[in-house]
């Protein structure tokens, strides 16, 4: 399989000695790693500047979409580790953005739910994240970004749909 880029589709930036170049730069795994690092930094910094964190955003967005859930369910739905869930929920609860209550029907579980302030906060963060995603996928237009998402989605789903 040959998936290297040769010289097609350059974006204007010439190679220089302070920038990696060559066959290596066209390997899918390396491009994925760099694109992930770039987008991760943009989204992480943007959320941090707004006083949040991608773990928090993942929890809030998942609660809004699926409704109240135990921490274990949230971990599965967000892809976060169960142990990283604990301080994330604690921070959100301290900020009044979620409520945590022992499940009366299964007292092992905490039922986590969005509060009113949490819903409002999520609306702000949704708008912010939309801008950050657009920044992260620049210079692709909306159509190209959609194609990228479709390709990545198929790749990720093919490889088991889970992290480990």
Partner DNA sequence: CTAATTTCAGTTTAACTGATATCA
Partner DNA sequence: CTGATATCAGTTTAACTGAAATTA
Q: Write out the residues near DNA by the rule CB under 7 A.
A: 33, 37, 44, 53, 70-73, 75, 81-87, 89-90, 100, 106-110, 163-164
Which one, 2 or 104, has the nearer CB to its own copies?
A: 2
Distance (Å, rounded) from C-alpha 123 to C-alpha 57? 10
Q: At residue 108, what are phi and psi to the nearest 5 degrees?
A: -75, -30
Contact in structure between 69 and 112 (CB atoms under 8 Å): yes
85 near its own copies, rule: CB under 8 A: no
DSSP-derived secondary structure letter, 109: P
Contacts (Cβ under 8 Å, ≥6 apart) of 60: 92, 97, 98, 114, 118, 121, 122, 125
Angle at the Cα of 49 (from 46 to 54), degrees rounded to 5? Answer: 55
Q: What is the sign, positive or negative, of the torsion defined by CA atoms of 138, 142, 148, 149?
A: positive
Contact in structure between 114 and 98 (CB atoms under 8 Å): yes
Angle at the Cα of 60 (from 55 to 62), degrees rounded to 5? Answer: 95
Residue 95 C-beta: closest distance to DNA, Å: 16
Q: Which does 71 bind (CB under 5 to 8 A by kind): its own copies, DNA, none?
A: DNA
49 near its own copies, rule: CB under 8 A: no
12 near its own copies, rule: CB under 8 A: yes
24 near its own copies, rule: CB under 8 A: yes
Binding to its own copies (CB under 8 A) within 127-146 occurs at 129-134, 136-140, 142, 144-146
Residue 142 C-beta: closest distance to DNA, Å: 26
Which one, 32 or 48, has the nearer CB to its own copies?
A: 32
Which one, 34 or 147, has the nearer CB to DNA?
A: 34
Point out which span in 30-38, 92-100, 105-113, 115-123 binds its own copies (CB under 8 A).
30-38
Binding to its own copies (CB under 8 A) within 91-120 occurs at none
């Amino acid at each position: 399989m040959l998936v290297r880029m040769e010289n097609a589709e350059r974006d204007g930036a010439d190679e220089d000695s302070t920038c990696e170049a060559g066959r290596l730069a066209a390997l899918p795994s390396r491009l994925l790693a760099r694109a992930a690092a770039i987008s991760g930094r943009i989204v992480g910094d943007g959320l941090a500047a707004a006083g949040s964190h991608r773990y928090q955003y993942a929890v809030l967005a998942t609660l809004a979409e699926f409704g109240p859930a135990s921490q274990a369910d949230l971990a599965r739905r967000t892809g976060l580790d169960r142990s990283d869930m604990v301080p994330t929920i604690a921070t959100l609860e301290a900020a009044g953005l979620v409520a945590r209550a022992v499940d009366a029907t299964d007292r092992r579980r905490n039922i986590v739910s969005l509060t009113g302030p949490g819903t409002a906060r999520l609306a702000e963060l949704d708008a912010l994240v939309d801008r950050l995603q657009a920044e992260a996928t620049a210079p692709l237009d909306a159509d190209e970004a959609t194609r990228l998402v479709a390709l990545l989605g198929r790749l990720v789903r093919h490889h088991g749909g889970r992290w480990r």
